Each structure stands twice: as structure tokens, then as C-alpha cells.
Chains A and B, each alone.
Chain A
Amino acid sequence: MIYFLQLIFGIVSTVGFAILFHVPKKNIFISALVGGIGWVVFAYCRNEYGGPLLGCFLAACMVGLLAGIFSRVYKETATVFTIPGIIPLVPGAGMYYTTLYLINGQLEKAATTGTQTLLMAGSISVGLLVVGSFFKVHYRLTGTVKRIIEKM
């Protein structure tokens, strides 16, 4: 039930970003869905299983995967789904708490949170990277297979 609520929150906030980024009208809901699902994956991992770093990684993988599939289905560039989808994962909260600890002079806590924030941004990147490479390999493989079949 909590996660259903989180899904709604994720979807609505991604709709907001889709409007800011001028996503074409017909694709707004789909990119919002991608963002919402990514956020739920992250929230679940953060609370129950694996912590925020793994959560960011898996959520970014999910966003990349869904964006890749939807870009094929709707004949749209993947960017239209990835950019709004990735936004909820970007560690704005980590940035806020790092600043908060810094201005209170709690340098140790600031260093811990700051490192975690950087690593979270890094794991988003790695997640996208992994799925992106997977799609590249996939397209190349299917292309080669098609050519071989045509030759035969």
C-alpha cells in the first residue's frame, strides 16, 4: 500500500518534469509511468532490501530498460523517456543533508552523506550504462541474425 502511494507520487512528480522538459503530449503519461516505476524500485530497495546505492542502480536499470522498450514501441527517441524518468532518482535529498551538516559544522556526517550522494549519482550512471550497452549489443545481434537469415 505504501508503495502504491509512492508510485502515484512518482508518477505525478514526473508529469511535472515532463511538462518542464516539453515532452510531446502523447508521451507524457508513458514517461511519467517510467519515472514512477523507477522511483518505486528505488524506494523498495532503500527501505527493505540492499540500501540506497543498490536501489539507485536497479532503478536506473529499470528506467533504462523501460525507456528502451517504449522507444521501440512508440517509435520515439529513448531520451524522451529516460530524462524525465531518471529525475526522481537524482539525489537531491542527499545534497540537502550534506549542505545542512556542513553549515552545522558536522564535517564527519557531511563527508559520509556527501560521499553517498556522489556514489548514488554514480550508480544511476552505471545503471543506465549497463542497460544502454545491453541494448546496443541486442540491436547489433538481431541485425546480424537478420542478415544471416536473408543470405540463407
Chain B
Amino acid sequence: MMKQVQKKIIIMALRAGEIMMKSGAEIYRVEDTISRICKACGIPYVEVFVTPTGIFLSLDEGGENSEMFTFLKRINGTGTDLGKISQINQFSRDFVNTDLSIEDGMKRLKEIAKSKPYNLWIRALGAALACAFFCLMFQGTLQDFVCAFAIGAASYLLSVGFEQFETNYFIKGFCCTAFAAFLALLCTAAGLGDSSGPITIGALMLFVPGVAITNAIRDFLASDMLSGLARTAEAFFIAISLATGAGVVMRLWVLFGGNIL
């Protein structure tokens, strides 16, 4: 029979790992956190194997007659929430250094899992700022800046809408950049912006796979080749979805007799 305490430890460690993976942490950090939590609970033998889609965890008490437990946790969906990663990091540090009970630990984990990102309108404002200033960085004019501000917010809200319906990342990237490119071309044609190029680049930057690239490299660095390759592939496909989204709209625009300024 499995001891209740061990089960609780496993559940807590896997929960922490799951939150981290879903928030876009690197593999080695997740493995490290899980094995630290287990070792702090006095389990001598801990073996963790984390991939972007699942966590495997084996525990053994050591000794001749002790049983070994292996658990597997499937992880669906990824996102980026650096706040959660930072909080879990703090949690594991506290859990190891102070004698926090397992129940209290679970309570804290639940709070962390529930913590929400910034308010939707603040995020939309952030997207608008990012888009508008990227437009300036790529030689956009002041008129482009205003267009990019609106288009950035609009396309970000669209992407949030797609996330609500849990569509896959390819369709999301495709539709959002197509929408943004269309609006940019429309604004330029209507004379609101000077050139659609910088505006579209600004909107593209919102969806660019920077997180996937960064994490892929950190995984390679920690010699987690499997997840490094998986994340490189992820970055590559996101890039393709963005390029095709913008490309199809621009091509259709030209076919229907528009000019790309």
C-alpha cells in the first residue's frame, strides 16, 4: 500500500511542476524544483523526467522492501506567465528552507495556480504600446504610430478571443496576423498611415515566438535535447503561421488590385 504522505508529496510536486510547465519554464528548472520539493520531504531517491508534454516522477524510500512509485502527468497547453514561474520559484525556496507543512504547501500552490494575469484592458494597452513602438523602431512615421496603436490592441484582443475557444496555435497565429495585415493595408489605403510595412511588423512582433526560441536554447544548454528540439520546432511552426497569415492577405490584396505601400 502506498502511504498517504507520499501520495500527498507526489501530488504537490507534480502540481508545482505542471504550473511551471504551463507557464513556460525551462525543463531543468522544473526538474530541479520537483526533486527539491521531494527531497525536502525526506525522500532519498527521486528521479524526474520532464518533457514539454508530460512529467514522469519516480519515488523510492530506499531500503530492501520499500516499494517504488512512478507517476505520470500529462500536460496540455502552454502559455507564458512569468509571474507564476517567479512565485513557484519563491515557493520552492520557502518550502525547502522552512518547515512548511504539505497541506499549507498545497494551499499556496492553489493560490498560485489561481493567480490571474493583468487585467485584460491593461494587457491590451501593453500590446498596443508594444506594437506602436515597434512600428517606430522600424522607421514608422507618427501617423503609422497611431494606426499601429489601434491595430496592436485589436489583434491582441482577437488572439485572446481565440484562446477562449482553445483553438490551436497555428490557426491563432494565422488569423491574428492576417487580421492585422489586412487592417494595416486598409489604414494605409485610406490614407491614415504612410506605409503598411512598419505597422504590420509591429503587429507581427506581438506574436513572434521569442519565448519558444529562448526556452529552446536554455533547454539545449542544459542538454535537454528532446525538449530543445520540440521547442525549436514549435518556434519554427509559429513563425510559418505568422508569415503565411500576413502573406496570404498581402497576396490577395495585390490580386484584387491594391498597392502595398
Seen from chain A, the residues whose Cβ lies within 8 Å of a Cβ on chain B are 6, 9-10, 12-24, 27, 39, 43, 76-77, 79-80, 82-84, 86-88, 90, 92-93, 95-96, 98-100, 102-104, 121, 124-125, 128-129, 132-133, 136
Contact across chains for B81 and A79 when beta carbons are under 8 A apart: no
Known: A19-B122, A43-B137, A133-B221. 4 other contacts (CB 8 A): A20-B206, A27-B86, A92-B204, A121-B235
Contact across chains for B86 and A87 when beta carbons are under 8 A apart: no
Is B134 close to A, CB under 8 A?
yes
Which B-chain residue is minimally distant from A11 (CB atoms)? Answer: B133
Contact across chains for B130 and A83 when beta carbons are under 8 A apart: no
For this complex, 18 residue pairs linking A to B, each with C-beta atoms less than 8 Å apart, are: A13-B130, A13-B134, A14-B130, A16-B129, A17-B130, A19-B118, A20-B80, A22-B83, A23-B82, A79-B214, A83-B214, A87-B210, A88-B205, A90-B208, A92-B205, A93-B138, A95-B242, A96-B201
Complex-state Cα separation, A100 to B29, whole angstroms: 40
Contact across chains for A16 and B82 when beta carbons are under 8 A apart: no
Report the count of interface residues on B (CB-CB < 8 A): 56
Complex-state Cα separation, A13 to B127, whole angstroms: 8
Complex-state Cα separation, A21 to B156, whole angstroms: 13
Complex-state Cα separation, A79 to B130, whole angstroms: 19
Give a binary string over B199-220; 1 marks a CB under 8 Å from any A CB, 0 the rest: 0110011101111011011101
Complex-state Cα separation, A79 to B138, whole angstroms: 26
Give a binary string over B156-188; 1 marks a CB under 8 Å from any A CB, 0 the rest: 100000000000000000000000000000000
Contact across chains for A19 and B214 when beta carbons are under 8 A apart: no
Q: Cβ of B129: which chain A residues have Cβ within 8 Å of it?
A: 12-13, 15-16
Seen from chain B, the residues whose Cβ lies within 8 Å of a Cβ on chain A are 24-26, 29, 80-86, 89, 117-118, 122-123, 125-131, 133-134, 136-138, 156, 197, 200-201, 204-206, 208-211, 213-214, 216-218, 220-221, 235, 239, 242-243, 246-247, 250-251, 254, 260
Q: Which of A21, A80, A132 has the most CB of B within 10 A?
A: A21
Which A-chain residue is minimally distant from B221 (CB atoms)? Answer: A132
Given contacts A16-B126, A92-B134, A96-B200, contact A76 B86 (CB under 8 A): yes
Which B-chain residue is minimally distant from A80 (CB atoms)? Answer: B82
Which of B80, B127, B216, B260 is within 8 Å of A125, CB to CB? B216
Contact across chains for A125 and B217 when beta carbons are under 8 A apart: yes
Which A-chain residue is minimally distant from B116 (CB atoms)? Answer: A22
Q: Cβ of A16: which chain B residues have Cβ within 8 Å of it?
A: 125-131, 133
Contact across chains for B208 and A21 when beta carbons are under 8 A apart: no
Which of A20, A82, A96 is within 8 Å of B197, CB to CB? A96
Q: Which of B86, B127, B130 has the most CB of A within 10 A?
A: B130
Complex-state Cα separation, A103 to B86, whole angstroms: 43
Q: A109: shortest Cβ distance to chain B, in Å?
A: 14
Q: Cβ of A102: which chain B residues have Cβ within 8 Å of it?
A: 247
Which A-chain residue is minimally distant from B254 (CB atoms)? Answer: A103
Contact across chains for B137 and A87 when beta carbons are under 8 A apart: no
Q: A134: shortest Cβ distance to chain B, in Å?
A: 11
Contact across chains for B137 and A19 when beta carbons are under 8 A apart: no
Complex-state Cα separation, A66 to B156, whole angstroms: 29
Q: Cβ of A6: which chain B residues have Cβ within 8 Å of it?
A: 137
Q: A68: shortest Cβ distance to chain B, in Å?
A: 12
Complex-state Cα separation, A63 to B203, whole angstroms: 23
Contact across chains for B133 and A13 when beta carbons are under 8 A apart: yes
Contact across chains for B218 and A132 when beta carbons are under 8 A apart: yes
Complex-state Cα separation, A83 to B29, whole angstroms: 15
Q: Cβ of A13: which chain B residues have Cβ within 8 Å of it?
A: 129-130, 133-134, 137, 205
Q: Cβ of B84: which chain A residues have Cβ within 8 Å of it?
A: 22
Complex-state Cα separation, A93 to B205, whole angstroms: 8
Which of A22, A77, A128, A132 is within 8 Å of B118, CB to CB? A22
Given contacts A13-B129, A22-B117, contact A92 B247 (CB under 8 A): no
Complex-state Cα separation, A83 to B24, whole angstroms: 10
